[in-house]
Structure 1
Amino acid sequence: MKKASLKLVLAGISIGALVGCSSNSGVTTSTANTGDVPQILQLAVKNDYTTTQPVGGWFNQSLQSNLMFRTLLVSEADLRSVKPDLASGYEVSDDHLTYTINLIEGNRWSDGEYVTPEDVKFSIEYNLLVTVSNQLYQNAFGNIVGATEWKNGTADEVSGITIDGNDIIIQLENPYSAFIPVLAQFDIIPKHAVENIDPDGFHNSEFWLNPVTNGMFMVDEVSVGSFYTLVPNPYSTETKPIIEKVVINWVPDYVTAVQNDQAYYYHTSSIDEMKILDSMSNMGSYMVDAMFYRYFVVNMQGIDGNQNPAMQDYRVRQAFMHAIDRDAIDIGVLNNMASVINSGVSEEHPANDGFVYEYDPVKARELLEEADFDFDYTVRLLTYYTDQTAENFMNAVAAYLGQIGVKTELIFTTQGGLDLFTTRNYDLGYKGLSAFSIEEWYYEYLSTNEYFQHTIGGDTVFDDLVKQLEIEVNIEKREDILRQLQQIEHDTLYKLPVFTLDQVIFINEGKLQIPDDIEFGNPFYECDIKFEEWRIIN
């Protein structure tokens, strides 16, 4: 278990000073006896979500959804290694096109019905039809033989999913390197309780007011928009948890919820939130190595051909990369909680090509002059992050651009998706991406990406290599593809890479005890966190 001491890391630092700070680490774990302490865990969900009902992990992966639903396999913290869950294991053919997954007999739904191979087949087929789902699943399942025909209504089933006893056999059109890790994220849902629900409205259906679950817990009481509770599923075959009840509170603000004991567990990448939470003497903090990208989307042109003249010259985009001292911003604004990146491949990755956009304001100015940049033009910098750290970051970027003579306007929006990809009244849009795998960074470059085709105009230059990366299973070949993709990134600069940010998980150690040997993974995804050993101590 990696426990981070953030006291020094989160010391206040002014933008102007841009000076560094240090961090240390250690491990402490409460050994208090629970005695007669009620085993009730408090969690929170923000009430500005699009739904005020409990929802499963197909939509918003969360600790509470992970407690309600199980997957065929369960991930370790790296999100790549897996072990059995509903399935005892799997076999893969030599050509990586056929997966045989053996379902364990005897697992049951919270209504007493048995979990069957038909539930697995139904879950995958149904997911291909829903309108709200993590794209991760639909990318993987869209590669199954017959998925296209099923989706367009010309087939009665996905022909590439067959059942033989307790075995589910899945045949792919092409190899898909992350297929097993994706299955380890995918919640299986009950066919008998869902099959008559229109897939278009599944995410907001009444099913979620009293969902039939197969995990440790099931929904007990729901007070829409206020709270809902989970209690142990009497039919669960998992190890019985110590926690006897989970209360999930709908709240307007997460930090306030933690302060008011409405949430004993919370994760964030916000420096502002980290400072507040780390100042609380009862909070333990755990650093998580996650691919949480921060970068600027360049508003080039839409698929309608409508161009943004200010961003068309490659040298302008190049100049902006050299104009901003990202290392100094990391130290002075983000308090050493970021890692500077120059593409979607981190410095530590074996496929990193070693290319660096050095801070060089002289070169930046020269590039703008070569591009005949209009220094009377005001560059519009947009972001949907509205916390103080984001404001400080945007002001720092504006200051660096100002040093090379570029005028800027800062735009803070609460309609991120709309303003980035529809309204498009900006030049550079500061955005985040919590990626399950490196492929997700490169999926954004696809000409068919439903969002980014509106900023890069449907350019197909990345398409072939991204598709190759998706299906390649050989490590050396994957690394070669990644190096080629990085070269195209450098040659186009459709996204200006800035940082990856650490995620920090906060635990109220005055209330909650977790195992010493726990290893947290990216909290936006599911992995084994030994929840059955969590206990309330006060």
Structure 2
Amino acid sequence: MAVGKTDIGMFDPKKGWGTHAQIRLTHSSLLTIDSDLNFIGDLAESYTVSEDALTWTFPLRDDVKFSNGELVTAEDVKFTYEMLKEDGIKFDLSFVESIEALPEDNTVIIRLLEPRSTFVSQLTEIGIVPEAHYDDSYSQNPIGSGPYQVVQYDDGQQIIMEYNPYWYGKEPQFKKLTLLLLEEDAALAAAKAGQADIVYVPPTFAEQKVNGMQLLAFESIDSRGIMLPTVPSGGKGRTNDKEVDAGNDVTSDLAIRQALNIGLDRQMLLDVALDGYGQKAYCLCDGLPWFNEETVIEDGDIEAAKKILSDGGWVDTDRDGIVEKNGLKAEFDMYFSSSDQLRSDLSLAVADQATEFGIKINLIGATWDEIYLKGKTGAVAWGGGRHHPHQLYTMNSSEVIDTGYNNMSNYKNPKVDEYLKKALNAVTQEEANKYWKLAQWDGETGFSGIGDAPIVWLLRVDHLYLANEKLNLGKQPIHSHGHEWALFGNITEWTWGN
């Protein structure tokens, strides 16, 4: 298989393993998500939440073993969560008051300092590691309790996994998986050479014909948009704990961001950049229970975009096609991952359309390391989308500015912060969804495109793969952000036919 960079986090939750929904092959988590997007027990047989939403109780299965044959215990769960809470980088567990292991009952009790409506999602993403065998070199010999165990990891080249004989779930038909860590062009070449049974392909490659392989398209909540700095230039910030420059004098003007939101034609972008493989998007969560449908607009309106710019003081006085304000041209850099064909194609289409209403975007292909260093000074072809709403908080709350690569826009709105905090601290999902929607737009303000638009969301992409005609991937749930691992949640259902 060659489906992208599948070693993000290097099998260690402390390094981010699980943050891209990739733990299912190698690790158990307390909960998991079924194909209908319900939260169900995994390592935990079930779970209960107290009326005040502060105490979560998890009776554990007693038949779960690590790949070395040792039982997974409540103490291992306690160790994992406490280790990640203390680390505080890849998983924010600062709201957890205590984790208690009850060995005699094989139960874990987690007490929170305050209600956290998105905690349930972290329970599906944190892979449990063995306390007795975890150290700084864990990535070299990861021990988990998923259906597969890592037997060989060649950094930058391949991962070889074999069936874990102690796996407690349905036995998979495939006893060995080889994940080739190839870029998109190389992955397609591997498919054509008969060296891969399934490869990810961007829409640009979708019409490629490979003997014995079929194109599979899966709906996703994987959204793409433009992240735009909301503060003027000259500031400093932090990204992934490194000091960086922050701010942009053009994109910090609200008129620029709102003009892009209404002026860009999402259907045309979908047709040109994705060959129709996807859907228009107006937020990070279109179609999900926490999406505010009031943010859907009639876009592609060039005249409306021009009026927003003109009302904001942006006028093309020198008639060169680019509007300016107080001597400043409406021109800015936009970074995109140079190894990502889809983001490249989308960025080109966005820049082309923006010129029609007087905005010039200079495109810069870069590595993600470079983007994280420079991305707070220019626009970035951004992405996201999970089976839960927590990213609405991490991308838009001022509380997380300068942590990791959260809120790269440096966006601050006290009213939005208030709604996001209430959504996080809600006792029920229904109450949380009410505030997630208000944070997007309450009729006067919000982080959506009709509001402050720190990120102009454009498209939801289909995940496309070329797969061997004999390979049946079972019932795939709607995919989350990241084509690299979205396929594998139901790996035990995969079959090889005739």
Alignment-derived partner of residue 296 in structure 1: 226
Q: Using a 3 Å threshold, how does the CA distance of structure 1 residues 430 and 220 change in structure 2: closer, same or farther?
A: closer
Matches within 5 A, 1:63-462: 65-79=23-37, 81-130=38-87, 133=90, 138-139=91-92, 141-145=93-97, 159-163=98-102, 165-194=105-134, 197=135, 202=136, 205=137, 207-223=138-154, 225-252=156-183, 253-267=186-200, 270-276=202-208, 279-301=209-231, 304=236, 307-346=247-286, 349=289, 351-373=292-314, 375=323, 377-386=329-338, 389-406=342-359, 408-416=360-368, 418-419=370-371, 422=374, 424-426=376-378, 428-447=379-398, 448-449=400-401, 450=403, 451=405, 455-456=409-410, 458-462=412-416
Q: CA deviation at 1:45?
A: 5.3
Give the secondary-structure state (helix, strand or coil) at the position aligned to 1:291: coil
What is the alpha-carbon distance in structure 2 between the residues aligned to residue 370 and residue 282 of structure 1? Answer: 57
What is the alpha-carbon distance in structure 1 between the residues aligned to residue 494 and residue 288 of structure 2? Answer: 33
Q: Deviations over 1:262-308 (max 9, x none)?
A: 4323445x2124333xx224334443332212111112327649653
What is the alpha-carbon distance in structure 1 between the residues aligned to residue 380 and residue 356 of structure 2? Answer: 20
Give the secondary-structure state (helix, strand or coil) at the position aligned to 2:125: coil
Given that residues 74 and 527 in structure 1 are in contact (C-alpha distance below 8 angstroms), is that contact kept between their aligned partners in structure 2? no
| Alpha-carbon RMSD | 3.3
TM-score (norm 2): 0.80
Q: Using a 3 Å threshold, how does the CA distance of structure 1 residues 509 and 96 change in structure 2: closer, same or farther?
A: same
Which amino acid in structure 2 is aligned with residue 239 of structure 1? Answer: K
Bigger CA radius of gyration:
1
Given that residues 381 and 430 in structure 1 are in contact (C-alpha distance below 8 angstroms), is that contact kept between their aligned partners in structure 2? no
What is the alpha-carbon distance in structure 2 between the residues aligned to residue 225 and residue 527 of structure 1? Answer: 21
What is the alpha-carbon distance in structure 2 between the residues aligned to residue 404 and residue 118 of structure 1? Answer: 60
Given that residues 86 and 104 in structure 1 are in contact (C-alpha distance below 8 angstroms), is that contact kept between their aligned partners in structure 2? yes
What is the alpha-carbon distance in structure 1 between the residues aligned to residue 271 and residue 262 of structure 2? Answer: 18
Which amino acid in structure 2 is aligned with residue 372 of structure 1? Answer: G
Alignment-derived partner of residue 13 in structure 1: none
Given that residues 36 and 477 in structure 2 are in contact (C-alpha distance below 8 angstroms), is that contact kept between their aligned partners in structure 1? no
The answer to which structure, 1 or 2, has the higher relative contact order (CA under 8 A, 6+ apart) is 1
Given that residues 43 and 246 in structure 1 are in contact (C-alpha distance below 8 angstroms), is that contact kept between their aligned partners in structure 2? no
Give the secondary-structure state (helix, strand or coil) at the position aligned to 2:207: helix
Given that residues 300 and 308 in structure 1 are in contact (C-alpha distance below 8 angstroms), is that contact kept between their aligned partners in structure 2? yes
Give the secondary-structure state (helix, strand or coil) at the position aligned to 1:69: coil
Q: Using a 3 Å threshold, how does the CA distance of structure 1 residues 336 and 169 change in structure 2: closer, same or farther?
A: same
Q: Using a 3 Å threshold, how does the CA distance of structure 1 residues 477 and 250 change in structure 2: closer, same or farther?
A: closer
What is the alpha-carbon distance in structure 2 between the residues aligned to residue 120 and residue 174 of structure 1? Answer: 21
Give the secondary-structure state (helix, strand or coil) at the position aligned to 1:70: coil
Q: Mind listing any 5+ residue stretches in structure 2 that lack a counterpart?
A: 238-245, 316-322
Which amino acid in structure 1 is aligned with residue 311 of structure 2? Answer: E
Which amino acid in structure 2 is aligned with residue 361 of structure 1? Answer: I
What is the alpha-carbon distance in structure 2 between the residues aligned to residue 160 and residue 524 of structure 1? Answer: 32
Q: CA deviation at 1:498?
A: 1.5
Give the secondary-structure state (helix, strand or coil) at the position aligned to 1:411: strand
Give the secondary-structure state (helix, strand or coil) at the position aligned to 1:263: coil
What is the alpha-carbon distance in structure 2 between the residues aligned to residue 388 and residue 527 of structure 1? Answer: 20
Q: Using a 3 Å threshold, how does the CA distance of structure 1 residues 521 and 425 change in structure 2: closer, same or farther?
A: closer
Q: CA deviation at 1:392?
A: 4.2
Give the secondary-structure state (helix, strand or coil) at the position aligned to 1:410: strand
Q: Using a 3 Å threshold, how does the CA distance of structure 1 residues 185 and 63 change in structure 2: closer, same or farther?
A: closer
TM-score (norm 1): 0.75
Q: CA deviation at 1:123?
A: 0.9
Alignment-derived partner of residue 493 in structure 1: 453
Alignment-derived partner of residue 469 in structure 2: 509
Which of 435, 448, 467 matches 1:481? 435
What is the alpha-carbon distance in structure 1 between the residues aligned to residue 456 and residue 478 of structure 2? Answer: 29
Given that residues 44 and 61 in structure 2 are in contact (C-alpha distance below 8 angstroms), is that contact kept between their aligned partners in structure 1? yes
Given that residues 107 and 236 in structure 1 are in contact (C-alpha distance below 8 angstroms), is that contact kept between their aligned partners in structure 2? yes
Which amino acid in structure 1 is aligned with residue 229 of structure 2? Answer: N
What is the alpha-carbon distance in structure 1 between the residues aligned to residue 162 and residue 127 of structure 2? Answer: 19
What is the alpha-carbon distance in structure 2 between the residues aligned to residue 109 and residue 95 of structure 1? Answer: 34
Given that residues 162 and 169 in structure 1 are in contact (C-alpha distance below 8 angstroms), is that contact kept between their aligned partners in structure 2? yes
Q: CA deviation at 1:475?
A: 4.5
Given that residues 342 and 357 in structure 1 are in contact (C-alpha distance below 8 angstroms), is that contact kept between their aligned partners in structure 2? no
More displaced, 465-474 or 378-387? Answer: 378-387
Which amino acid in structure 2 is aligned with residue 356 of structure 1? Answer: I
Given that residues 31 and 43 in structure 2 are in contact (C-alpha distance below 8 angstroms), is that contact kept between their aligned partners in structure 1? yes
What is the alpha-carbon distance in structure 1 between the residues aligned to residue 368 and residue 418 of structure 2? Answer: 29
Give the secondary-structure state (helix, strand or coil) at the position aligned to 1:74: strand
Q: Using a 3 Å threshold, how does the CA distance of structure 1 residues 388 and 97 change in structure 2: closer, same or farther?
A: closer
Give the secondary-structure state (helix, strand or coil) at the position aligned to 1:235: coil
Q: Deviations over 1:338-379 (max 9, x none)?
A: 322333442575642254153322222222222222625151
Structure 2 residue 421 is the aligned partner of structure 1 residue 467: yes
Give the secondary-structure state (helix, strand or coil) at the position aligned to 1:243: coil
Q: Deviations over 1:116-152 (max 9, x none)?
A: 100000111112244763xxxx23x32211xxxxxxx
What is the alpha-carbon distance in structure 2 between the residues aligned to residue 327 and residue 298 of structure 1? Answer: 21
Q: Using a 3 Å threshold, how does the CA distance of structure 1 residues 251 and 345 change in structure 2: closer, same or farther?
A: closer
The count of residues paired between Structure 1 and Structure 2 equals 460
Which amino acid in structure 1 is aligned with residue 393 of structure 2? Answer: Y
Q: Mind listing any 5+ residue stretches in structure 1 that lack a counterpart?
A: 1-41, 146-158
